[in-house]
Each structure stands twice: as C-alpha cells, then as structure tokens.
A = this chain, B = another copy of it.
Amino acid sequence: MTRVRVDLNISLDGFATTTDQTPENPFGEDWGRLTAAYAATRTFRERVFHDTSGAGTTGVDEKYAARYFENIGAEIMGAGMFGLHANPDDPDWRGWWGDEPPFHAPVFVLTHTPRERIEFANGTSFEFIDAAPEEALRRAVEAAEGADVRVGGGATTVREYLRAGLVDELHVGITPILIGSGIRLWDDLRGLESGYSVASETAESGVVHITFSRAN
C-alpha cells in the first residue's frame, strides 16, 4: 500500500532552509553544513553525484540515505524546489536538477502557473499542476502504482502536507548546528506526534535521525 513520505535535513534550531545564499555562493555555506553528513554518504554520492566508485560513508547516515530512494513511485514538490521562483519568466527552464534529476519517477510540481510537462531519459518527469494538496496527492498516488509517494519539499509544501495529516512517515536528519533563520519545519505542528510512533537514532556524524511512522 502506498505510503506518503517526507524526508528532510534540518538544523538543531529547526530550520529546513538557509538564508546565507549569495551570487558567488548560490547554495550558501549553511546549506553545505546542514547537508554535509548526508552528502558524504555512499548513496548520495552515487545517486546525486553519479559517483559509482563506491566511495562514501556506510554508517547510520547511509542507512537513511538509502531508504530515501527506496520504493518511491512518484514525488510532489513545491514550485520553489523545482526552481520556478528563480526563473519565473523562462518557459524553457528545465529546473536546476541537471540532465539527470535524481528522482527516476513522475514528479508533480505545485504551481499556480502551469507549463509544459518535461521528461528525462532516466524516468524522471516533471508535471506542473495547479492543485490543492489532496488533489496533487491523489494524482501522485495514482502515478506511483502502489509504490510510495514522497513529498520532497520545500519546507512550506511539506508543512502543508503535515498539517493536513496526509503524511505517513516523516524522517528528519537533525544536524547539530544553529543557523538562526530560515523556514522552521516545526511551526504550527503542535501535537504532530499523536498517532505516530517516534524513533530516534544517532549517527556517527552527530546527526540525529528521528522518524515519525504511522500504521497504515
């Protein structure tokens, strides 16, 4: 049965986004610090950097990194995560995920200004839809054909799904740094833990992995 999953890196002070981007460093230094342990894993190196040498960490962080990619049949993301906000006026912009977006599945991009569907040879497609969370989820579940649906981000989209009670499994990797500003994942989610079982695990890197799971 399809499960709806969320998987994010956040800082100890709860931020899922960073604010220190500059033209010279478009990701910013904080993003690198926030995701360092995840980016060091063997799975990330293979799936995102296309490094097939087998290099990368293989401990607890790797276990969660591998799980991130398992059994995902479709993905939902906000317009910002695709890159629409950065390039609102270029209808041919194909997102900032490069020629091999690491999704390998249909991706539904939530936007009020839909554009043409894009397909990539590796199985990734982007379909732009103007839909409420429930409707987008209905379409993603259908596209997933029994596999899981991931609500990939950004933080605002994820919180919308969490608040609507639509998420079956939430994994966060908490990096023990304080970044002080950005979008807080946990805002307005009082009592989220009700109806989930919650598990905590610490990685060699110092990252704390917390998983909220709901029985289907």
Contacts and interface: CB of A to CB of B under 8 A. Distances in A.
Interface stretch (A79-87, A113-121, A134-142, A175-183): A175-183
Contacts of A193: 176-178
Interface string A159-190: 00000000000000010111111001011111
B210 A176 contact: yes
A13 interface: yes
B176 A200 contact: yes
Nearest to A189: B178
Given A178-B190, A191-B178, A193-B176, A206 B199 contact: yes
A12 interface: yes
Contacts of A200: 176, 202-203, 206-208
Contacts of A210: 12, 176, 208
Nearest to A190: B180
A130 interface: no
A66 interface: no
Contacts of A191: 177-178, 180
Residue among A191, A193, A210 with max Cβ neighbours from chain B (10 Å): A193
Interface of A: 12-14, 174, 176-181, 184, 186-193, 198-203, 206-208, 210
